[in-house]
Amino acid sequence: MEKIIKGKAFVLGNNIDTDQIIPAEHLVYSLTDQNEAKKYGEFALSGVPISQSGLPQGNIKFTQTGNWKSEFSIIIGGSNFGCGSSREHAPFALQVAGVQAIVAESYARIFYRNSVDGGFLVPLESNEKLNNEIKTNDEIEISLENYTLKNLTANKYYALKPLGDVLPIVEAGGLFEYARKTEMIK
């Protein structure tokens, strides 16, 4: 895993739940079939109402119709990101769509654990409400060494909370890969 994550920001509001991240009607696709798994990327964040998205005039979609990869690799969220049901499909869908990191004020515990345990993406917490500071399409650079976020568009720096023991798990590709790597399991 790279220690620097760079990409475009997609800004969301507070209380983005797992049904907004991947609506239940799209849970019919296989997680292991490569072609079907792309559908999770295509429908990622398709359940977010425009009033919650923080998008300018609501005219920017996370993925374009028929595409499974998004141009946005960093999500900036508010508080309680990933609340709702415990489906691991939510961080999986974001990973398939190309998301490498989420920076939120706080997370629902189960979404955070699913993100880490599956090694899907890096869930970072901010020290302040960045979804009020950063705009969709801003170019962002995250340092996992210094735990800083730089908004390259606005030339502003922000501190992030350290991941501690979580980072090696995400770097290994998830909990089981970490356990194999550290010989906890064979």
Contact 100, 91 (CB under 8 A): no
How high is the pLDDT of residue 1?
A: 61
Residue-wise pLDDT tens digits, 19-36: 899 988 888 888 889 999
Residue-wise pLDDT tens digits, 46-98: 877 655 555 444 557 888 878 899 999 999 999 999 998 878 899 999 999 99
Contact 136, 9 (CB under 8 A): yes
Domain boundaries, the chain: 4-181
Residue-wise pLDDT tens digits, 135-178: 999 999 999 999 999 999 999 999 999 999 999 998 899 999 99
Listed residue (113, 125, 58, 123) closest to 88, CA to CA: 113
Cβ–Cβ contacts within 10 Å for residue 154, how many?
A: 13
Does residue 37 carry a pLDDT above 50?
yes
How high is the pLDDT of residue 83?
A: 94
Q: Which residue has the tokens 């515990």?
A: 109
Q: Helix, strand, coil proportions of the chain in percent (round to 5)?
A: 30, 20, 50
Listed residue (74, 54, 84) closest to 4, CA to CA: 74
* Polymer length of the chain: 186
The CATH code of the domain at 4-181 is: 3.20.19.10
How high is the pLDDT of residue 71?
A: 95
How high is the pLDDT of residue 186?
A: 78
How high is the pLDDT of residue 51?
A: 56
- Which one-letter amino acid corresponds to residue 20? Q
**3 state SS of 126:** strand
How high is the pLDDT of residue 121?
A: 93
